[in-house]
Amino acid sequence: MKILLIEPNKLERTIGSEDLFMFEPLALEYIAAGVASEHDTMILDMRIENRLEGILEDFRPDIVGITAYTPTSMRAKEIAGRIKGFNRDILTVIGGHHATVAPSDFYDNNIDIVVIGHGIDSFREIVTATESGSSFDRIEGLAMKSGEKWILTGEREEIGLDSYPFPIRALSERYRHNYFFEYMRPMASIKTSQGCFSRCNFCSLWRLTKGRYITRSPESILEELKFIEEENIFFADDESMVDTNRMMSLALVIRESGIRKRYFLHARSDTIVRSPELFEAWKDIGLSIVFVGIESHNDRELEGINKGTTTRINEEAVRILDSAGIDIYATFMIDPGYTKEDFRLLAGYIRDLRLKFPRIFVLTPLPGTGYYEEVKDRLITKDTDLIDFVHTHIKTSLPLKTFYYEYAGLCLRSLSLVSALKFLFKFRLLDILPTIYKIWKVQRRIRLAYLDYG
């Protein structure tokens, strides 16, 4: 059978993302690993190659699988409609993060099956059933139409990550030079764990694993690293370092193997403070960037989002990483209730920490989170195209135009000229001007984001 797997592109009104970073379609490469040995399988990354009808005409797939995060969920539905418009006999299957937290959003006449949770086994069984003409009823982890209603099959049990096959990166070979994060280009991704022990109320990732932290063994990770050609590696984990013993063991086996890469991963500030020696060890084998969710400049806000850290812990984490020579990409979240004084205080706090790479987002109620349940009756929009962590979904205390004027100003005020120059000098010379243009473009979109609400 012929199987086409699609990574949707974002819409123009969705701010950021592909303008500043683009990770490989790792989920699709995993799905492909379950079927490619027996079927003709192709990946279409529409963020790079936006010619769906041409691919459908040339490849003539029997099954199309589409993955989607929340910001691309409506785009995925539109793609499914175009596929059915080309040939209604093509089986359309949707999976990914948004399908797992909100499967009913894909109950659509152009979608045949919604995969909930990890899709490697489910999708392989869908392909097998399609080939044999069997029913999908006994395949766990699906939502599908039965008559005029949508039904859910049994819940699929989670299995260990070591049981999964390695993702088939050869299927994205023609795109791989396009995958990057800012100055780290080209960049590959690897998954070493899933879930998180923390219970932040704005995050749904820990809910997807029912609060468990699922890990791969250092030996399995090392074996996969041997086959990755790119120098830059992103750990596509919810939180990479929380199991400090495992990650110290991984650092040791990587060092002993002689593999030399540049690594970029997520870590909580309390993990950094608890185990500074772990980050020293990782610095020695190539850790270059750590994304740290600092989130706020005051303890009251941190407690309100159930972050489980304090400003003191955050400040100590910044000091530890800075001392180790690791770039800190600290993220902050603006509450829609911010006043002009709140914006001023946050800008001052970021400057006081001397952060070179602050990333500032709007606190967003994502489907599947506790925060969403708290505020769902106060949403000013349910447009998932605007779930980009820039557009607010809650009424702001300031007039909307003023809020975005302050937000855009905060992004500029929180970064010194020296820090901006240090950031730009990390890029290849030929990438500096395009990067400046992309940053200007995003900054302008933030300034004018109030217009997207009509």
Mean pLDDT of the 78-96 span? 98
Task: Please indicate, yes or no, whether residues 277 and 379 belong to a single structural domain of this protein.
Answer: yes
* pLDDT beyond 90 at 416: no
H or E stretch covering 70? none
Residue 84 pairs in a beta bridge with none
Total number of domains constituting the chain: 2
pLDDT tens, position by position, 195-216? 888 889 888 777 777 778 899 9
- Asked if residue 164 is part of any domain, the answer here is no
Q: Residue 85 has what pLDDT?
A: 97
- Asked if residue 429 is part of any domain, the answer here is yes
Last-in-domain residue among 146, 179, 213: 146
H or E stretch covering 445? helix 429-447
- Asked if residue 158 is part of any domain, the answer here is no
Mean pLDDT of the 308-336 span? 96
Q: Tokens standing for 289?
A: 């960037």
- Asked if residue 154 is part of any domain, the answer here is no
Percent of all residues in the chain with a pLDDT value above 70, rounded to a whole number: 100
Domain that holds residue 118: 2-146
* pLDDT beyond 80 at 17: no
Mean pLDDT of the 22-42 span? 97
Q: How confident is the model at residue 13 (pLDDT cuts 50, 70, 90)?
A: confident
* pLDDT beyond 90 at 454: no
Task: Please indicate, yes or no, whether residues 270 and 375 belong to a single structural domain of this protein.
Answer: yes
0.85 exceeded by pTM: yes
Distances (CA, A) of 292 to 198, 217, 264, 269, 425: 14, 24, 11, 6, 22
Task: Please indicate, yes or no, whether residues 283 and 415 belong to a single structural domain of this protein.
Answer: yes
Distance CA 238, CA 316 (A): 22
Task: Please indicate, yes or no, whether residues 135 and 226 belong to a single structural domain of this protein.
Answer: no
Distance CA 126, CA 1 (A): 12
Task: Please indicate, yes or no, whether residues 206 and 130 belong to a single structural domain of this protein.
Answer: no
pLDDT tens, position by position, 139-162? 999 999 988 899 999 888 877 889
- Asked if residue 153 is part of any domain, the answer here is no
Task: Please indicate, yes or no, whether residues 182 and 301 belong to a single structural domain of this protein.
Answer: yes
pLDDT tens, position by position, 366-377? 988 999 999 999
Task: Please indicate, yes or no, whether residues 187 and 121 belong to a single structural domain of this protein.
Answer: no
- Asked if residue 95 is part of any domain, the answer here is yes
Task: Please indicate, yes or no, whether residues 194 and 342 belong to a single structural domain of this protein.
Answer: yes
Distances (CA, A) of 144 to 115, 151, 299: 9, 6, 45
Task: Please indicate, yes or no, whether residues 30 and 117 belong to a single structural domain of this protein.
Answer: yes
Report helix angle 340-352 to 400-413, nearest 10.
Answer: 10
Task: Please indicate, yes or no, whether residues 103 and 177 belong to a single structural domain of this protein.
Answer: no
DSSP class of residue 227 equals T
The C-alpha R_g of the chain, in whole angstroms, comes to 22
Distance CA 213, CA 215 (A): 7
Q: How confident is the model at residue 33 (pLDDT cuts 50, 70, 90)?
A: very high
Task: Please indicate, yes or no, whether residues 85 and 181 belong to a single structural domain of this protein.
Answer: no
- Asked if residue 155 is part of any domain, the answer here is no
Last-in-domain residue among 146, 181, 210: 146
H or E stretch covering 186? none
Q: Residue 356 has what pLDDT?
A: 84
- β-bridge pairing 142-146 and 149-152: antiparallel
Q: Half-sphere exposure of 255 toward its Cβ, with a 13 Å CA cutoff?
A: 14
Last-in-domain residue among 131, 146, 161: 146
Distance CA 134, CA 128 (A): 8
Kindly report each contact of residues 103-108 with a partner whose C-beta sits within 8 Å and lies 24 or more positions away, as own/partner. Answer: 103/143, 103/152, 104/143, 104/150, 105/73, 105/367, 105/384, 106/73, 106/76, 106/77, 106/143, 107/143, 107/145, 107/150, 108/77, 108/80, 108/81
- Asked if residue 405 is part of any domain, the answer here is yes
Q: Residue 414 has what pLDDT?
A: 87
Task: Please indicate, yes or no, whether residues 191 and 91 belong to a single structural domain of this protein.
Answer: no
CATH number at residue 8: 3.40.50.280
Q: How many Cβ atoms from other residues are within 10 Å of residue 415's Cβ?
A: 19
Mean pLDDT of the 273-279 span? 98
* pLDDT beyond 90 at 25: yes
Q: Where are the alpha helices (DSSP H) in 198-336?
A: 205-208, 218-225, 244-257, 269-274, 276-285, 299-304, 311-324
CATH number at residue 393: 3.80.30.20
Distances (CA, A) of 227 to 170, 220, 222, 223, 328: 11, 12, 9, 7, 28
